[in-house]
Amino acid sequence: MNNEDKNVELPENYAELKKAAGRSADWRARLEAVEVLGKYPHKQVIDILKRLVESDPVYTVQEAAYRKLEAFGEAVAAPSKDKPELFKGVSKILLRIKKSLPREHTYEEFKEKLKKMRIDVYDAYEGDKGADFDKWLESKWSSVK
């Protein structure tokens, strides 16, 4: 970080953006926060972006934060797209939800229950899988026993 960056002001809505960047059940809000925060090369913003690069479950958010940090001239490792599971024990989480439903439930009922019970899991995988989310979730639903 060079000296002129130290004089950068935080955005007026910094507290709101910081909160959005930490919203575990809304990857779109985190991505939007990255886009706005990425215009302010301030130490507090850089700390938030580094946290998102290192630990956000959604690759799209990680990558956006990485690009902003690179543009600031920060030395940061690129995020990896190859993650075995976004949430440890996701199969057990899905199994618990499946077992909480009537035996003859539909995929749509399962999907809605997942969304209600574990929006964090639902949201992270939706963001990670993109257009393939339904195909992935339906495959998980049919395979968990």
- Across residues 119-129, what is the average pLDDT? 93
Question: Coil, strand or helix: which one is 40?
Answer: coil
44 lies in the same domain as 100: no
Asked whether residue 83 is domain-assigned, the answer is no
Residue 6: per-residue pLDDT: 54
The domain of 94 spans 90-143
17 lies in the same domain as 66: yes
Measured torsion, CA atoms of residues 89, 120, 131, 109, in degrees rounded to the nearest 10: 80
Over the chain, what is the mean pLDDT? Answer: 91
Mark which of 71, 101, 117 sits at the end of a domain: 71
- Residue 23: which of 140, 139, 130, 119 has the closest Cα? 119
Mark which of 25, 40, 71 sits at the end of a domain: 71
9 lies in the same domain as 59: yes
Q: How far apart (Å, rounded) are the C-alpha atoms in residues 112 and 56? A: 23
Residue 90 has pLDDT above 50, yes or no: yes
